[in-house]
Amino acid sequence: MRTTTIIIGAGQAGLAMSRCLAECSIDHVVLERGEVANSWKKERWDSLRLLTPNWQSRLPGYRYEGGDPDGYRTMPETIAFLERYAEVISAPVQSQTKVTSVSNNDAGYKVTTDRGEWHCRAVVLATGACNIPLVPAVADALPPGIESVTPDRYKNPDQLEEGGVMVVGPSASGIQIADEIHRSGRPVTLSVGEHIRVPRLYRGRDLEWWMDAAGVLDERYDEVDDINRARNVPSLQLAGSDDRRTLDLNSLTSIGVKIVGRLANIRDGKAQFSGSLKNLCALSDLKMNRLLNTIDEWATENGLDGEVDPPHRLEPTRVEAAPPLQMDLVGGGIRTIFWATGFRPDYAWLDVPVLDRKGRVRHDGGVVDSPGMYLMGMPFLRRRKSSLIDGAGSDARDLSEHLVSYLDD
């Protein structure tokens, strides 16, 4: 089979690209191993709500038009939103089609799937940034009888053994899961490394509103000092809920979650934590205040001070005077370790030599180091918002323009 462009993946990134290619009359097919919004359907937990408000899901030719722009979508609502988008833009999705190999051929690329072979001039990799959970090597030293769980396999606390849970990782997934599991009656210890603390609401508006309005989310990949660092920063400590509450280490300790340092090692059944907890929390508070200063300056410059609440600061993160540096996992009653330690993409099927030593695709703002190949949906691909639903549209516009000029050459 032959088409001009193959898009691999029917999440928001692949769908936004499909819409932009259709606008340019570029013949294409979207190959999807599952169904539209497969990752949202299969790899997220039951209670998850988007941490981005409803208004912040603007896609090319589609946006939220319901009566609750400031609410946060549940998973069924998120899936329905993307399914509807695919319908509205008539995306040519071929579902239940897994790509097993992409390789070069004379005219461009050969894309092999479990339902046949495609030939195309251009290919867009929109298979997602979160295919495989990252589990640190210390997991190999876990004593027998302690179960490892990762966010993609987690649905709700009922699937966990009764007893203590250690959640490793204090970013968006880790804090949400620590909160939910602790409330289910299983005592939670949260191991805390680098994290970015932010309030849900600031001066009466959603933090995402401020970051969007002040242009923070539009910052471009070629404008930041250290793009490698920017692409690896942890996700913001945010959660979507009806009461729009801030979820941070203070709110977790106030319900009884125990906060310990970064998990450095597991030896003889004992978890060892680094002694940097206080410093990490102080640094996170400092960075949050820097962001709030930027927001305050922007509000003043733009004449908003009279319209919004006055500036305020959050209480510093509370940390025990001498947090434990070690914990006996077996004797301490830990039955489950939850690895909320991030994800990586899976390119096992990519047979074009574009991966660097760390297995990342070499690209310049999504233009891959192989003519006619493009990448979508990675953190800070072209803008700070690139991996968000709201970021897919602008990246798809830029990259589809590049793709069209490549085809015209």
Ligand X SMILES: Cc1cc2nc3c(=O)[nH]c(=O)nc-3n(C[C@H](O)[C@H](O)[C@H](O)COP(=O)(O)OP(=O)(O)OC[C@H]3O[C@@H](n4cnc5c(N)ncnc54)[C@H](O)[C@@H]3O)c2cc1C
152 to each of 35, 83, 178, 291, how far by Cα in Å?
Answer: 17, 21, 15, 31
- Which residue from 277, 323, 329 is spatially nearest to 148, judged by alpha carbons? 329
How many DSSP H helices and E strands does the chain contain? 9, 24
Nearer to ligand X, 164 or 240 (CB): 240
Closest distance of CB 333 from ligand X, Å: 28
71 binds ligand X, rule: CB under 6 A: no
DSSP H helices, 335-377, are none
396 binds ligand X, rule: CB under 6 A: no
Choice from 55, 377, 383, 403 touching ligand X (CB under 6 A): 377
Parallel, antiparallel, or unpaired: how do β-strands 343-344 and 363-364 relate? unpaired
Return phi, psi of residue 378, to 5°.
Answer: -85, 155
150 binds ligand X, rule: CB under 6 A: no
The type of residue at 320 is E
389 binds ligand X, rule: CB under 6 A: yes
173 binds ligand X, rule: CB under 6 A: yes
386 binds ligand X, rule: CB under 6 A: no
Choice from 387, 396, 398, 399 touching ligand X (CB under 6 A): 387
54 binds ligand X, rule: CB under 6 A: no
169 binds ligand X, rule: CB under 6 A: no
Nearer to ligand X, 64 or 273 (CB): 64
Cα separation, 127 vs 10, whole angstroms: 8
Nearer to ligand X, 29 or 51 (CB): 51
CA dihedral 386, 109, 21, 360 (to 10 degrees): 0
381 binds ligand X, rule: CB under 6 A: no
Angle at 144 (CA atoms; ends 142, 146), nearest 5 degrees: 70
Cα separation, 251 vs 243, whole angstroms: 14
Cα separation, 72 vs 81, whole angstroms: 12
388 binds ligand X, rule: CB under 6 A: yes
Closest distance of CB 35 from ligand X, Å: 8
Neighbours of 320 (CB within 10 A): 12
Ranges within 335-364 binding ligand X (CB under 6 A): 349
- Which residue from 201, 122, 188, 125 is spatially nearest to 340, judged by alpha carbons? 188
Choice from 5, 14, 168, 189 touching ligand X (CB under 6 A): 14
Ranges within 250-309 binding ligand X (CB under 6 A): none
Nearer to ligand X, 217 or 257 (CB): 217
18 binds ligand X, rule: CB under 6 A: no
Choice from 7, 20, 21, 39 touching ligand X (CB under 6 A): 39
- Which residue from 332, 194, 325 is spatially nearest to 264, judged by alpha carbons? 325
Choice from 12, 150, 341, 370 touching ligand X (CB under 6 A): 12
Question: In the complex, which residues of this chain contact ligand X (CB under 6 A)?
Answer: 8-14, 31-34, 38-40, 44, 50-52, 98-99, 126-128, 130, 151, 173, 349, 377, 387-390
